[in-house]
């Protein structure tokens, strides 16, 4: 029992770089907010979406906690760091442990599950990005062309745009591929995935921090009586996410797994996006007030979506 619970002892938990550990935790929880993106397709979104969100947070936490505990316990706390570094280049630590303790059949099964889960994750990101573009197109912040859907409600134009964008990014990494210590060109997948995960984690944390702050500001202006849901909880979330974002910015080469010049400058793209978004918001407020004021109405159109969406079907 002592060996199994040693991973949770204070000296182990507080050991190493706690900030890097927190950034990895933030990466693990990326995607739980996707439940809100599809609220317009739910029958009772004001009830089911909060429940689904809380359930997703709990399940993600339990799965990652159990998986981390199992890996560290299988290796041993004292040897965990050295063994992990030895498997860093190949990235096969967990798969190797599954094969070692559960046999080759389960090892092969784990590989297949990994491939399927990666495909599912990419499909989720693809649909989530398309949903953002669709919503912004419907609100006329982006071209309304993106708000057109197929007969079954699929935002296929936004999906097509996101697909083209993804291919362009993959092409950039293929052309500007890094080399290893021996001068061999690395496959785009080896460089794209860690950099993409690191950049995506930082971007989503910043977006979530802004969203948390906006909740506090909006509901305080409305003098809402629900202090926990509209002030305390989102306020704590904003402070935490802001701290995580700053640490990710300061340690971005480590988060992205590369110190290449094009990786180091990636966070500045987010800075430019935030500044550009603020400038565009000022422009909309001054020159297109109806579009600016319609943003909040568009986000609260759950009950009217079935009727509202027919305007955009091709």
pLDDT in tens, 216-266: 998 998 888 888 888 999 999 999 888 888 888 887 887 777 777 777 888
216 vs 149, more confident: 216
Whether residue 299 lies inside any domain: the answer is no
Judged by average pLDDT, the poorest of 39-43, 72-76, 140-144 is: 39-43
| Residue tagged 């110190």 (tokens) | 259
**What was the pLDDT predicted at 226?**
86
Cα dist from 87 to 92, 271, 294, whole Å: 6, 35, 52
Query: Mean per-residue pLDDT for 146-160?
Result: 86
Whether residue 17 lies inside any domain: the answer is yes
pTM > 0.85? no
- Residue 211: pLDDT above 60? yes
Whether residue 297 lies inside any domain: the answer is no
Whether residue 273 lies inside any domain: the answer is no
Whether residue 21 lies inside any domain: the answer is yes
- Residue 32: pLDDT above 60? yes
**What was the pLDDT predicted at 158?**
93
**What was the pLDDT predicted at 308?**
45
**What was the pLDDT predicted at 2?**
55
Domain span holding position 15: 1-102
Whether residue 311 lies inside any domain: the answer is no
- The span from the CA of 96 to the CA of 92, in Å, is 6
* Residue 245: strand, helix, or coil: helix
- The span from the CA of 197 to the CA of 84, in Å, is 19
Burial category of 241 from C-beta neighbours within 10 Å (exposed 0-12, middle 13-18, buried 19 and up): buried
- The span from the CA of 220 to the CA of 213, in Å, is 11
**Which tens digit of pLDDT belongs to each residue from 70-128?**
888 888 877 877 888 787 767 788 888 999 888 999 999 999 998 898 888 888 888 88
Query: What's the number of domains the chain is made of?
Result: 1
Most confident of 16-20, 42-46, 200-204, 229-233: 229-233
Whether residue 67 lies inside any domain: the answer is yes
Whether residue 262 lies inside any domain: the answer is no
């Amino acid at each position: 029992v002592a060996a199994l619970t040693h991973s949770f002892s204070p000296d182990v938990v507080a050991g190493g770089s706690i900030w890097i550990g927190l950034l990895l935790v933030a990466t693990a929880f990326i995607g739980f907010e996707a439940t809100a993106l599809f609220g317009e397709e739910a029958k009772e979104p004001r009830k089911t979406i909060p429940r689904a969100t809380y359930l997703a947070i709990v399940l993600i936490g339990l799965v990652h906690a159990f998986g981390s505990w199992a890996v560290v316990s299988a290796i041993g706390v004292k040897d965990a760091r050295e063994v992990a570094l030895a498997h860093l280049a190949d990235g096969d630590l967990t798969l190797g442990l599954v094969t070692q303790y559960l046999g080759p059949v389960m090892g092969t099964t784990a590989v297949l599950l990994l491939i399927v889960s990666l495909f599912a994750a990419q499909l989720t990101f693809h649909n989530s990005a398309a949903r953002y573009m669709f919503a912004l197109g419907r609100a006329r912040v982006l071209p309304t062309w993106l708000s057109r859907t197929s007969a079954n409600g699929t935002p296929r134009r936004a999906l097509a745009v996101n697909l083209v964008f993804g291919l362009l990014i993959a092409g950039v990494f293929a052309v500007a591929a890094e080399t290893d210590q021996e001068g061999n060109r690395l496959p785009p997948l080896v460089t794209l995935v860690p950099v993409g995960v690191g950049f995506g984690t930082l971007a989503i944390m910043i977006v979530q921090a802004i969203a948390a702050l906006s909740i506090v500001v909006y509901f305080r202006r409305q003098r809402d009586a629900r202090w926990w849901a509209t002030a305390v909880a989102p306020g704590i979330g904003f402070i935490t996410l802001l701290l995580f974002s700053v640490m990710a910015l300061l340690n971005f080469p480590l988060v992205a797994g590369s110190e290449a010049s094009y990786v180091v400058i990636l966070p500045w793209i987010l800075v430019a996006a935030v500044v550009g978004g603020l400038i565009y918001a000022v422009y909309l407020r001054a020159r297109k007030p109806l579009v600016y004021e319609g943003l909040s109405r568009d986000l609260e159109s759950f009950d009217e979506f079935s009727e509202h969406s027919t305007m955009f079907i091709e």
